[in-house]
Chain A
Amino acid sequence: DSGVTQTPKHLITATGQRVTLRCSPRSGDLSVYWYQQSLDQGLQFLIQYYNGEERAKGNILERFSAQQFPDLHSELNLSSLELGDSALYFCASSVAPFSDSPLHFGNGTRLTVT
């Protein structure tokens, strides 16, 4: 158990809808990362937060947004969903925002857009 909690585990929704994915980092970790993994694909970096502030952005679509709250949990909002957004979304946390801190991943949220 990595200590990172992601909910929900599965999400099935229709095109055009909006969903929110939730992540609670490991106790003591201040940094949260979001990654997208399509079927049999690699891990695409979306966005990173540290102590409530956005620190880095990857190839995140404008339809996607995220935030980190004062209690350090984070939410990833996906709107105007398209079939191509179907993927596994991972949240990871680390102690610090620097990349020499190992990432601890949650079990992911599997999003299916129909």
Chain B
Amino acid sequence: GQQVMQIPQYQHVQEGEDFTTYCNSSTTLSNIQWYKQRPGGHPVFLIQLVKSGEVKKQKRLTFQFGEAKKNSSLHITATQTTDVGTYFCAEPSGGYQKVTFGTGTKLQVIP
């Protein structure tokens, strides 16, 4: 089956430090989505990337889609305690009917 690897699994950072999570797929993707799940909450859609090499920004968050459309990254600049949570990438699979989530990166921000 489709493998959606995310690294790292956990990341502890000091408040103000940067953070990056990477998502790697075994197949070429049509698009990739990113979600954030706060502790005790449900996943919330952040963004979708479609084009090869695409870069999108949301305030301190920068999302990139690889040139080969097989990997993606999420970078947070100057983390804040509100960034705490688990970040998931999500990929289409099974003929576009199924959305497979990555293993997730759990971010802890130390104030």
A residues engaging B (CB < 8 A)? Answer: 2, 33, 35, 40, 42-43, 45, 48, 50, 55-56, 58, 90, 92, 97-100, 102-108
Contacts and interface: CB of A to CB of B under 8 A. Distances in A.
Interface residues of B, number: 28
A58 B98 contact: yes
Contacts, number: 69
Interface string B77-92: 0000000000010111
26 contacts: A43-B43, A43-B88, A43-B101, A43-B104, A45-B99, A48-B98, A55-B97, A58-B98, A90-B42, A92-B43, A98-B92, A99-B31, A99-B33, A99-B90, A99-B91, A99-B97, A99-B98, A100-B31, A102-B45, A103-B33, A103-B35, A103-B45, A103-B90, A103-B99, A104-B45, A108-B42
A98 B92 CA distance: 8
Given A42-B88, A42-B103, A97 B45 contact: no
A27 to B, nearest CB: 17
Nearest to B41: A107
Given A43-B43, A99-B92, 15 more contacts: A42-B101, A42-B104, A43-B104, A45-B98, A56-B94, A56-B98, A97-B97, A99-B30, A100-B31, A100-B92, A103-B33, A103-B35, A105-B44, A106-B42, A107-B41
A97 B88 CA distance: 20
A90 B92 contact: no
B33 A102 contact: yes
Given A42-B101, A45-B98, A2 B31 contact: no
Contacts of A92: 43
Interface in B29-47: 30-31, 33, 35, 41-45
Contacts of B48: 100, 102
A99 B103 contact: no
Most buried by B among A2, A92, A103: A103
Nearest to B31: A100
